[in-house]
Structures are given as C-alpha cells and as structure tokens.
A and B are shown apart, each in its own frame.
Chain A
Amino acid sequence: MNRRLFLKQASLVSVGGLLFPSGMFSACRKDDLFKGSAYQGKVIVVGAGAAGLYAGYLLKSKGIDFTILEAAAYHGGRMGKKSGFADYDIDTGAQWLHGRNSILGDLVAKNKVATTLDTSELSYWFNKQIVDTLPKDPFIFEGKNLPDVSFKDYAVQLGFGDEYNYIIEAIAADQGAAASQISAYWNSKDEENWVAGTEDFKFSKTYFDFIEEYIANPVQSNIVYNTPVKAIDYTNESIQLTDAGNKVWTADKVIVTVPVSILKNNEITFSPLLPATKTEAFSKFGMGAGMKVFLKFSRKFYKPVLYGGQVCAAYVDDSVGKTTNDHVLLAFVMGTQAANLHSLGSDNAITDALIKELDSIYSGQASAAFMASSVHDYTNKPFIKGAYGYSTVGMGNAREVAAQSVNDKLFFAGEAMNVSGHHQTVHGAVESGYKAVLDVLSSVKK
C-alpha cells in the first residue's frame, strides 16, 4: 500500500468511525420521560403543602390540566412565616434545609438563594446543670440491627438512666415523636436511605419565602382555598371529590397529599373503601403533637441549642443565620411534651410554662428579659393535627404500602409517603410530590 492510499483509507475510516455512531445513536434515547405525550386528563391535587405545591408545579410544567384543593385559607401546610414579631420574619413551620444533596438543594444552588450553615453548638440540661458533654453519648439510634422497641426502651436497654430521659426525648422530638413511641429499628431503617447530607442550613429570609417564590407562585392561580375534601368516590372512570360545602369536583386522577393524621382519622371517606392493607398502613404511622413557640427576649442569656428540658426538650437560638438585633429563642416541642403544653389550653399558659422552665435553667434570667411570645401549635390546626409522620414500633413496610397508588386513580404524596429516607422534611415532601406525578403519567402510559 502506498502512503497516499494508506492515508486516504485511514482518514475515511477514522472520520466515519467517529461521526457515524454519534449521529446514529443520538436519537435513540430521549433525555426526558414522557416527552411528547402530555396527558389530556384532569388531575386534582388534594392539599397545598410542599408535596401538593410541587406536584402542581410539575403538572403545570408538563402542560397538564390540574386543580389544587386546599382545605385552609392559605397554602404551605406545615410551612409558614410570621412578620412583625421580630425584626426578621420567623419560620412558623419548617425552617431548616436538611442537607444540600436534594432537589431543593439544586433549586437553592441554581437561584443562589442565601442560606447559612447552622453550626450551633449543642449543650445539655443534665442533672440540673448546663453541660457541653455528657458522660454517655446519647446519639444511639443510628446503625443496623437496632431492636424494634421505642427510643425510650432502647435507651434503658443500653443502661441510660432517668437523668437522660429528656435528652432522649429531644432526640425523638427531632423526629417529631415522643421517645416512648418511635421505633429505634424502623427509624434507623428509614434513615439508611437518607442521602441529602447531615448539614443543616437556614434561609436568610424564610423557608416559606423560598417555596413561595419558586414553587407556589407559579401554581397559585390553580389553588382553590377553603375547600376541605370530605369524600372521594373512585368507583367510575371519572373520580368525584366532594368538599365540605358539598360541591362535587371531577377528575381522572387524584393525588392525595394531606397529612397522614387526616388519613389515619378517616377524615376523607373513600368509595369504594381503600384496601384494608392501606388503612392498616396509615394506622401504623405515628403523628404526635407538635408546636413551635418563639420567645423574644431583651438580651441573649441562652445557649445556641439546649437539649434536656422537662417542659420542652429542645431550645434553639432562632436568630442564627438571620440579620437581626433581636433575641429570639425557639422552643421546639414535640410528642408528649407538646401534648402536655397543648392541654394547658392557652398561649399564655404555654408561654408561662416555658418561661418558668427557662428561669429554672438560667437562674431567673428568662422572666427578667422576656418581651413577647408567638405560639404555633400544629395540633390545633384542623387540617394538619400534628407535627410529622414517624415510624412506630411494629411499623414494618407501612410507609411503602401507604404510598402505593390505588387502581391507577388515587396517588399518595406528602412527607410521610416519602419512601426514600427523606420523610419528615420539605425536600422529602417535594420528592413524594414528583414521584406521584411520575406515577400518574406512568399509569397513563400503561
């Protein structure tokens, strides 16, 4: 072979080899699911919390006809904000972005939303003293092969004495639970899939503002407020939803995003009845009382984070990450402690109980510096009735069963229905929302 012929053959082969396959294969697989197959049916989303809002946001982006029916006069569910209490807006609901490796982490990054890593040091109220370390590490609820007993019982099994009770309670409170009810085993199983990261971030504005701007605003015109759904009849092809005012709404697919407490209490009746396995799964969820009480003081005398109070197991400096001259302490109260405070019957009584405890911890400084309080009791909210869904002893695969669709007509979302380890979070609710839309469209594709 002469040099000219060789070069010609070689260049033809190499150019052909490089161009042919990329052109041939580029059309083989598309980069989005369901492209070119916009669903023509009507979707109703029940609930305008994070899951419902994100489901709506996705449906809108896909050009699908949808309506969000919200029971309350506002959207956001367990997110909210209050202006005027301090010189910054307070998050009355969810306030920490838990980890950056999530869909909301991407949304924050893309829009360069101002957040601050919360590096607050943890202290303990232990044996009537404030200490920075404990004789025994109380964070014992992670890892494999934990027994299916409550946090409280597991701590006793490991030799933790009564002096640790309210510290264990604070750790359970972080899961929205009472230590006597949450399962060490099933909670650790849930957390095995947690991939978002362990760092907590606070928004310079509020979490609610972030969701409002990027997710709620685009779908606000599709939300119908003050419309609690009381019955869903999915007997026929067309699903009928009846609201509290007896107005009937029709849809081809329904995404139910109400808190699991509403489903547990059968506040929505389904016709035909939901499968027994599903209602049994709902019943296995825990969803205890929960409240956030903001206490404003004239000066800062408190630790950034203090675990171990008998009235409130976790006190947190709320002004971390905010531009403020005010001093606001958050009492983060969950489970039995929240139920106890709730039973006091008034915001003033709740505040008094907390100030009294803070006085005992900080030698009377709380009442001396106290200015105002703002109580947000989620147990009182008629369409929420609690904090968030946690795994009880004997939970089994209830979360997976609860999240399954019914007859390709009813789809379930919400923080409790997140089956990939991110339940009890806003980003988990968002994931469950998009999974429900994905399942809706997959059911059509069948």
Chain B
Amino acid sequence: MKYRLLFFNLFAGICAFAQSFETGLSYNYLYAGQWDNLIQTYNFARPFLVEKQPLLKHGAQVYLAYRFKSEKRISHGIQLSYSYFRSSAENAGFTNTLGFSALNVGYILHYENETLLKRVYAELIVAATGGRMQRRINNAPFEYDQKRAKALGIGGNVGTKLGYHLKINEAVRLSPFVLLSYTPYFYAPDAEVLINQTRGLVAEDWTGMLNAQFGLALKWK
C-alpha cells in the first residue's frame, strides 16, 4: 500500500508543480586509458590466446531523472543512471569476458530557451560514481580462493548533455541526445588484478574515463 501511495504522490507532484520525470537509454562509448593499456598488455603477454580481448569500449546506459520546476528556463533535478560495458574474446576452450558496470547518482542543471533555440536543451550533470568490474571465463564467474574475482572502484562524474525535443503530445516528449562526460575513477585498486592478473606492473590504480553517449529519452511533463 505504501508503495502505491508513493507512486501516486510522485505523479501527483509532477502534475501539480510542473516537475518532470524522464527515462532514457543510450549507447556509450568509453575511453579509459589505463584499462586500455591493461587489456593491451593482457593481449600482448598471452600469445596463446589467438582471439584478442577487445578493449572495453562499448556499452549502454539506462537512466531515470527527476526535474523540479521544469517549466522554467533553468531548472534542476536528480538523476540515477546505470551503465554496463562488456568485452569478450572467444578462444577455443577459453572465453574471457570482462564486464564493467557503473552506478551514477547525480545532480542535473537543465537549461532551455525556446526563443533562442527551439526544442533544444542543454544539461550539466555532476555525479558520484561507483563501479564494479568482473571477469567471466567460459561464461562462469572467475573465482579463486573460493571468491569471485571483482574490482570495485569509486569516482566522480561531470558531463554535458545536448538534447532535442520531439513532442508526442502535451505531456510526453521524445528526446534524442548526446552526452559527453568525464569520470575521474580515482580509486580502483584491483582493476589491474582483474584484467592483467598483476598489481602495479603496467598501470596505476586509477583511470580517467571519457564517455560519449548517444541516446533517446522519454520525458513526462
């Protein structure tokens, strides 16, 4: 019952105070220099794996956002997003898969000016990031010492988003967007352990990530 009430209050709030709810899905391209170096070293050092491990580049993100006073030229809100990137190489008897998932919780500063640029909006997003990388071998989680191999990390995220509104009806809009962001992933001590099975041999325990996103959002006003 309390969940129904919460749901009702949320939408009642959106309708009563011109707040907006938004969800979106995007393709993500990742550039993380240190991790590229680790995967390259992994490939370099393992000639017995003919099929090279692709760099951790391609992923997807889904997000939910809630914006207050959305009728104003400048408004702000909060956003929760989940991203997943995957890299897999299939060699005879040895399929190695790296998966990196990140959860961002952040603040949105939204700007749109219908007189200046019709249907276009821009956003600045500042978020905290928590991430987890995992390794699977032959589609099973890689375990050693009876523990699942994983690398956790934390960082920050700052991004700028440019979008375009396509009006479906008075309340709903579809919005293609591009987003560029940078994540200083400043504490990920086990990334090299997970990717290259060493520590401190070729990489630092942090990485900076550049992220380019291309996606579609659905907005309720």
- A-side residues, CB < 8 A to B, are 1, 6, 9-10, 13-14, 17-18, 20-22, 25-26, 28-34, 57-58, 61-62, 99-103, 105-107, 109-112, 193, 195-199, 214, 419-422, 431, 434-435, 438
Contact = CB atoms under 8 A, between A and B. Distances in A.
Given A30-B40, A110-B48, A420-B198, A22 B53 contact: no
B160 interface: no
Nearest to B213: A21
B201 A419 contact: yes
B216 A101 contact: no
A216 B19 CA distance: 68
A29 B36 contact: yes
A17 B215 contact: yes
Contacts of B39: 31
B31 interface: yes
Contacts of B128: none
Given A100-B144, A110-B49, A21 B212 contact: yes
A1 B197 contact: no
Contacts of B52: 31-32
Contacts of B26: 17
A195 B45 CA distance: 17
Contacts of B198: 195, 420, 422, 431
Closest CB pairs A-B (n = 4): A61-B47, A17-B214, A110-B94, A197-B144
B214 A101 contact: no
A267 B182 CA distance: 53
A421 B55 CA distance: 26
B29 A102 contact: no
Contact of A33 (B44, B137, B144, B190): B44
Nearest to A12: B176
Contacts of B166: 1, 6, 9-10
A22 B199 contact: no
Q: Tell me which of B26, B53, B144, B166 has the highest count of chain A C-beta atoms within 10 A of its own C-beta.
A: B144
Interface string B188-206: 0010010001111110000
Contacts of B40: 30-33
B197 A14 contact: no
A421 to B, nearest CB: 6
Contacts of A198: 145
A18 B25 CA distance: 11
A26 B27 CA distance: 13
Interface in B141-164: 142, 144-145, 149, 164
A332 to B, nearest CB: 23
Given A21-B27, A25-B29, A29-B55, A435 B201 contact: yes
B213 to A, nearest CB: 8
A101 B45 contact: no
Contacts of B47: 57-58, 61-62
A32 to B, nearest CB: 5
A434 B216 contact: no
Contacts of B48: 107, 110-111, 214
A20 B36 CA distance: 21
A415 B135 CA distance: 27
A101 B215 contact: no
A193 B27 contact: no
Interface string B92-119: 1110100000000000000000000000
A17 B137 CA distance: 32
A111 B93 contact: yes
Contacts of B91: 110
Contacts of A30: 40
A420 B45 contact: no
Interface in B44-92: 44-49, 52-55, 57-58, 91-92
Contacts of B212: 21, 25
B41 A419 contact: no
Contact of B197 (A17, A20, A105): A105
Given A6-B166, A33-B41, 15 more contacts: A9-B166, A17-B214, A22-B27, A29-B55, A29-B57, A61-B47, A103-B46, A106-B94, A111-B48, A196-B197, A419-B201, A420-B201, A431-B198, A435-B201, A438-B41
Most chain B CB within 10 A, of A33, A103, A109, A438, is at A33
Nearest to A104: B197
Nearest to A25: B29
Given A32-B40, A110-B93, A17 B176 contact: yes
A403 to B, nearest CB: 11
A21 B214 contact: yes
A195 B193 contact: yes
A112 B144 CA distance: 16
B168 interface: yes
A20 B198 CA distance: 36
A362 to B, nearest CB: 33
Nearest to A14: B216
Nearest to B198: A420
Contacts of B43: 31-33
Contacts of A435: 201-202
Nearest to B93: A110
Contacts of B145: 99, 197-199
Contacts of A32: 40, 43-44, 52
Contact of B144 (A25, A101, A193, A438): A101
B125 interface: no
Contacts of A214: 48
B55 A106 contact: no
Contacts of A431: 45, 198, 201
A106 B193 contact: no
B197 A106 contact: yes
B44 A101 contact: no
A196 B207 CA distance: 22
Nearest to A1: B167
B174 interface: yes
A32 B94 CA distance: 18
A26 B176 contact: no
